[in-house]
Structure 1
């Protein structure tokens, strides 16, 4: 059921993001592997934000079924997240077109050909970037908007904080910019808008909702953490990744290269069996990743770690086997609201902040006006 919307909101809360995606509020739930399934995606969409289904960890057939499962739950617009460097990205993009998906989201930017094909089919294309040069590159390809994630964000991330990266990208491109990394409430939404963003994207905050299918013991692990209880490491899959610091992560960080290589081999075999992706395609994906990220051969082998270790925790609840990707903002989150409650809370708080700031500005202007001057 669609929640009751708050009363009339400050006009600044209707941004170009709302028009671009066809949603009520400038809030995006990111496409988190093993987390953003049909339930969470639909719940976000029903709440008035843009829910994004995580397709990168699904087979093509599973992706099609998941899209239809979202549609059974809501008629609101939603997106699907894909990996731009996947060997079968063209096939997966075609599924989005065939199923009438509104938004194509990419964790790693696809090729210009894929972008053009999706846009020609009428989809809104929104890749995530972590640097100004990446935003400039995909803008030249014709994407509709970018999600800019600062270093505070969970999962694969960069080193530049959102407060620095966001205005840098806003000043460099002429397309809508969505801010990610460190957001969880209405104050953050207002701050992002003040820096030129058209909205915010959140992962950890939506993971920690009652609509998320992540096992309850795993959610409690997040709720118990402080803002300094995460670590960024490239030892898991060769690319910098922010995860919660757990006993498993500490063991992995202390393990030697032989132990890490053995674990990676087992994960690579398991991922191939589960995904059904032919080995030649996986090798091509790996080589593309090696070129784009400058990975060594040992790091390339480790790339299967992330999907398998996330599945162990986010699906199976195995904290002894899985990692917990998460942003530093986890240290500020203390509850598990529904998506409807969360979105309403954020826009209500943002409206109050904007109203207060507007009133303060008006009062200051009136106080300094010359007598008799309107």
Structure 2
């Protein structure tokens, strides 16, 4: 949800009764500070911030969340014990995203407050185990709340996740496709036109499995050789450095940390710079033909652009009706 889950979408989600989470990986520290203040200006409802655990300024970002009394820090990668402790000491809950049972068990032992489990159907970086198999595994393995992601878009999915033992569901693609989302009309149209087979999991964007809409650009990346991929990654690394304000030494330190934490090769580490720039081309600049569009397979079941308030109301009414029908059938 980089470049998508900013202050506007988060405030609209939380204000409507959901729990919005700012996607800060594509923000500088100052941009994150502004986004937190802007959400506060728009709603008094609680919200969270997603952080990169391997960011050079991760500790500073956690300190900002503590100072601003943000309710939750979520992490795309497993946070260190030190970051978990910083959050706990400051009254901020922690919820890393996991794609395997063993990862959930590890962070639960470290003292996180909840885990978000994403199955293979989910958009962005994803694993190979479907949500319907991964979710019950994790629920049975840990004694903390589990939030389910990957394949959810309506009240039926919410009820199904609760039946599996989840505490709730997280939705990325569904909230990207709302009228409150900042994504441009042409990009939203590409999403709405997609089918359930219109996504692909590729390693050619940033070196690790990434589910995106299938486009001519993605097909080209799949066919490209190593030399072309390396040159493209270098260009994107330089562009990301300028946008983020990081120095080359800081960017290299972040790369080393990511390589260690995620067990990446140096080639994969170099390619990681592709993601923010290719997402920016589509999500910010509105050029779907020049960027990538992360998407869950659920994109093929979405055909409208409600507001966050309309969507959440619809989900809850649908869930209530499903539960009532199940109860009546006993």
With normalisation by structure 2, the TM-score equals 0.99
Per the alignment, residue 153 of structure 1 pairs with 122
Deviation at 1:69, TM superposition (A): 0.6
The 5-angstrom pairing of residues 113-132 of structure 1 reads: 113-132=82-101
Over aligned residue pairs, what C-alpha RMSD do you find? 0.8
Deviation at 1:278, TM superposition (A): 2.0
Quick check: 1:205–1:333 contact (8 Å CA) kept in 2? yes
Larger radius of gyration: 1
Paired with 2:199 and 2:248, the residues of 1 have a C-alpha distance of 34
Deviation at 1:124, TM superposition (A): 1.1
Deviation at 1:133, TM superposition (A): 0.8
Per the alignment, residue 150 of structure 2 pairs with 181
Paired with 2:181 and 2:78, the residues of 1 have a C-alpha distance of 26
SS of aligned partner of 1:227 = coil
The superposition leaves residues 15-41 of structure 1 with CA deviations (integer Å, 9 ceiling, x where unpaired) of: xxxxxxxxxxxxxxxxx1100011100
Quick check: 2:56–2:254 contact (8 Å CA) kept in 1? yes
Paired with 1:225 and 1:74, the residues of 2 have a C-alpha distance of 33
2:166 corresponds to 1:197:
yes
- Unaligned 5+ segments in structure 1 are 1-31, 362-374
Per the alignment, residue 231 of structure 1 pairs with 200
Deviation at 1:295, TM superposition (A): 2.2
The superposition leaves residues 164-189 of structure 1 with CA deviations (integer Å, 9 ceiling, x where unpaired) of: 00000000000000000000000000
Per the alignment, residue 312 of structure 2 pairs with 343
Per the alignment, residue 26 of structure 2 pairs with 57
Deviating above 4 A after TM superposition, structure 1's stretches of 4 or more consecutive aligned residues are none
Paired with 1:229 and 1:186, the residues of 2 have a C-alpha distance of 23
Paired with 1:300 and 1:67, the residues of 2 have a C-alpha distance of 29
Paired with 1:300 and 1:200, the residues of 2 have a C-alpha distance of 31
Paired with 2:266 and 2:53, the residues of 1 have a C-alpha distance of 21
Paired with 1:277 and 1:359, the residues of 2 have a C-alpha distance of 59
Deviation at 1:99, TM superposition (A): 1.3
The 5-angstrom pairing of residues 1-374 of structure 1 reads: 32-361=1-330
Quick check: 2:47–2:70 contact (8 Å CA) kept in 1? yes
With normalisation by structure 1, the TM-score equals 0.87
Number of residues paired by the alignment? Answer: 330
SS of aligned partner of 2:328 = helix
SS of aligned partner of 2:288 = coil
The superposition leaves residues 250-286 of structure 1 with CA deviations (integer Å, 9 ceiling, x where unpaired) of: 1111111111111111000000010012222211221
Deviation at 1:56, TM superposition (A): 1.1
Deviation at 1:321, TM superposition (A): 1.5
Paired with 1:129 and 1:290, the residues of 2 have a C-alpha distance of 18
- Unaligned 5+ segments in structure 2 are none
Paired with 1:95 and 1:241, the residues of 2 have a C-alpha distance of 30
The superposition leaves residues 286-322 of structure 1 with CA deviations (integer Å, 9 ceiling, x where unpaired) of: 1122223332222211110001100110000111221
SS of aligned partner of 1:236 = coil
Paired with 2:254 and 2:14, the residues of 1 have a C-alpha distance of 32
Greater Cα offset, 321-330 or 290-299: 290-299
Quick check: 1:116–1:141 contact (8 Å CA) kept in 2? no
Per the alignment, residue 28 of structure 1 pairs with none
SS of aligned partner of 1:320 = helix
